[in-house]
A and B are shown apart, each in its own frame.
Chain A
Amino acid sequence: MRDCTELAKLIKLGNAGEAGGLSVIPEPDISEIEQSGEASVTLRLGRWFSVLRQSSQTYFDVRLEEVDLKAEARASKRYFIPFGEPFTLHPGRFVLASTLEWLKFPATLGGYIGGKSTLARRGLIIETAAGVHPGFNGCLTLELANVGEVPIKIRPGMKICQVFVHTVPGGTRNSAGPLTGRRRPFLGAPKIDAILNKLTS
């Protein structure tokens, strides 16, 4: 795991567009990272939210065909919340959000997203698919859920999560192509699982 000094160096390098660096845009306060002593970079909440509408979708079958995924995408509703306005997440509800920061990981780095303890203690779950693979490029999609007892007002621009960065020894290959970046929460499609298809056919 990279420490705060190394993280600061990596971000400076990445934000200058240099190979091997970690891009985090908008750039966080580098001096704050250097002095924090923490081994993570805190990220902020973006302004786009995506909600799956119960009334439009009866179920999600993990063996979906492409056409069904399009229908699922149509069944979700996207919200833009300006800075200064809240998004209220009620108990038991789930919403996709994204980080305000655009991140680009080189082939030599990977990471894990973690929640913020103060938010977690109030029932806000941030991320359940936490791995960030080498070569990731874009805003991270967050899976927010309120498992607490009271509604929580979240606000674009707030500190929402942290990313821990790890070296990938000998890393030369990216997990995805160079053009994967997205600004907004992305539902995505499950990869085709040939074994599951054989088992269930």
Chain B
Amino acid sequence: MARALLGPAAEVIMSSEWDFSPLTYPMTVSVLPEHVLIGMPSSESSNALILPLAGHELGHSVWRKEQLESKWAREVHQGAKDCLQLRWSDFQRAFPEHAAVKPTDTELANNMFLVHVQSDIVGLTLNQIEEIFCDAVGSHLFGPSYACAFHYLLAPSLGGTRPIEYPPLAIRATLLASCSGINLNTIGFPAYAAEFQDVQPSLAPRDDFISRAADEIAKKLSQRMYDDARALVMTKARAFTPDYDSELAILRMFEAGIPSQSPRSLADILNASWTYVRDKASGFDEDERPLLEWISELALKSIEVLEYRSRIGHA
């Protein structure tokens, strides 16, 4: 999957040893350009069902490989300029010492303070749209299992206040529901976004203005992030995207208590795993064995079978 998206030399190193939630190290680009380093939360190290979130982390490497920041920078900068002009009264309240300035094109281009504010908005917005793009990559690569893993790990919140470099979780959830093409109703989430709650940070007026501006611009661009991600995934990694018939075939094997003997893709295995959890959750006897432990064994063995068959040329 990583090689399809990033090139034949790509190597993925995934570990649960690091004590923070999924993150691709920034050092990936400068020190080990062909390596994707993914840290998964150590508390979930035995849970295979959160693997779709690695698709989000892979998205960060795709973002850099495709130089998408450069692609979107001009438009984001224009968005920051437009936002300042449209929300000038908010700006004046946030920065009363600069209230006398007029938001003309000349001032926006030459007034050092306004340039600095725009630059901060652009930086935050680029961070946010990168996160949205990564959600889109994860959801297009893994389908419903991405939405399930996202909910399992992140709902209702990350704890603490929302980092302003990320879009609010409720917005990310709303976008997953509306832009990813995943039918969340059929997988047990009739009100997906409502299950996420962000604690807004208490910010100084300046930071609050910049944060709100970035939120607004990022939200406007979000559908296009999903469109971009979908085009990239479908062009480069279509073979890895979910297939419903294949998922059902794997699910039948899981219901028989055995791993899949001929899985087609990682996404199909993980989608079947989440479907199994959903179907069995109510009547499952956890005294015998925890449901997540059992399904993780079947999923991980199926993933090993996928690798085995791929190596001997039968996948």
Q: Is the CB of A183 within 8 A of B304?
A: yes
Q: State whether B261 touches A27 (Cβ < 8 A).
A: yes
A 50-91 to B, binary, CB cutoff 8 A, 1 in contact else 0: 000000000000000000000000000000000100000000
Output the nearest chain A residue to B252 by Cβ-Cβ distance.
A17
- Within 8 Å CB of A146, what residues of B? none
Chain A residue numbers with a CB within 8 Å of B255 are 17
**B68: min CB distance to chain A, Å:** 33
The answer to whether B261 and A25 have CB atoms under 8 Å apart is yes
Residues of B within 8 A of A181 (CB): 257-258, 294, 297-298, 301
Q: Which of the residues B294, B300, B305 comes within 8 Å of A25, measured between beta carbons?
A: B305
Whether the Cβ atoms of B257 and A25 lie closer than 8 Å is no
Given A181-B257, A182-B297: A26 touches B288 (CB 8 Å cut-off): no
- Our pick among B252, B257, B301 for the contact of A178 (Cβ within 8 Å) is B257
Shortest distance from the beta carbon of B12 to any chain A beta carbon, whole Å: 13
| Neighbouring A residues of B301 by C-beta, 8 Å | 25, 102, 139, 181, 183
Q: Is the CB of B257 within 8 A of A26?
A: no
B:80-105 near A, CB below 8 Å: none
Q: How far is the CB of A46 from chain B (nearest CB, A)?
A: 8
Knowing A25-B301, A26-B308, the reply to whether A15 touches B261 (Cβ < 8 A) is yes
**Closest residue on chain B to residue A23 by CB atoms:** B258
Identify which of A23, A83, A177, A179 gathers the most chain B CB atoms within 10 Å of its CB. Answer: A179
A155 at interface (Cβ–Cβ under 8 A)?
no
Q: In the bound complex, do residue B256 and residue A17 qualify as a contact, i.e. CB atoms below 8 Å apart?
A: yes
Contact with B along A121-146 (1 / 0, CB 8 A): 00000000000000001110000000
Given contact pairs A25-B301, A26-B305, A100-B308, A179 touches B258 in the complex (Cβ within 8 A)? no
Q: Mark B276-294, 1 if CB is under 8 A from A, else 0.
A: 0000000000001100001
Contact B258 A17 (CB under 8 A): yes
Shortest beta-carbon distance from A45 to chain B in Å: 12
Instruction: Give the shortest distance, in Å, between B45 (CB) and chain A (any CB).
Output: 12
Determine if B259 and A102 form an interchain contact, defined as CB atoms under 8 angstroms apart: yes
Chain B residues near A157 (CB-CB < 8 A): 308
Residues of A98-117 at the interface with B, using a CB-CB cut-off of 8 Å, are 100, 102, 104
Q: Is B199 located at the chain interface by the 8 A CB criterion?
A: no
Interface residues on A, range: 20 to 34
Q: Which of A1-53 contact B (CB under 8 A)?
A: 14-15, 17, 23, 25-27, 47
Complex Cα spacing A102 to B260, Å: 10
Q: How far is the CA of A177 from the CA of B255 in the complex (A)?
A: 14
With CB as the reference atom, state the residue of chain B lying closest to A19. B256
Contact of A137 among B258, B300, B307 (CB under 8 A): B258
- A161 and B261 CA atoms in complex are apart in Å by 20
The smallest beta-carbon distance between B64 and chain A, in angstroms, is 27
**Residue in A closest to B255 when the chains form the complex, CB atoms:** A17
Tell which of A15, A26, A181, A183 has the most Cβ of chain B within 10 Å: A26
CB-CB under 8 A from B260, the residues of chain A are: 25
CA distance A178 to B307 in the complex (A): 26
Inter-chain CA distance A137–B257, complex, in Å, is 8
Contacts of A179 in B (CB 8 A): 257, 288-289, 294
List the B residue with the shortest CB-CB distance to A27.
B261
A177 touches B288 (CB 8 A): yes
B311 in contact (CB, < 8 A): yes
The complex places the Cα of A180 from the Cα of B298 at a distance, in Å, of 11
CB pairs A–B below 8 angstroms (12 shown) = A23-B256, A23-B261, A25-B258, A25-B260, A25-B301, A26-B305, A83-B307, A178-B257, A179-B288, A179-B289, A181-B297, A183-B301
Question: What 9 pairs between A and B have smallest CB-CB spacing?
Answer: A17-B256, A179-B289, A25-B261, A23-B258, A183-B301, A15-B261, A26-B305, A179-B294, A26-B308
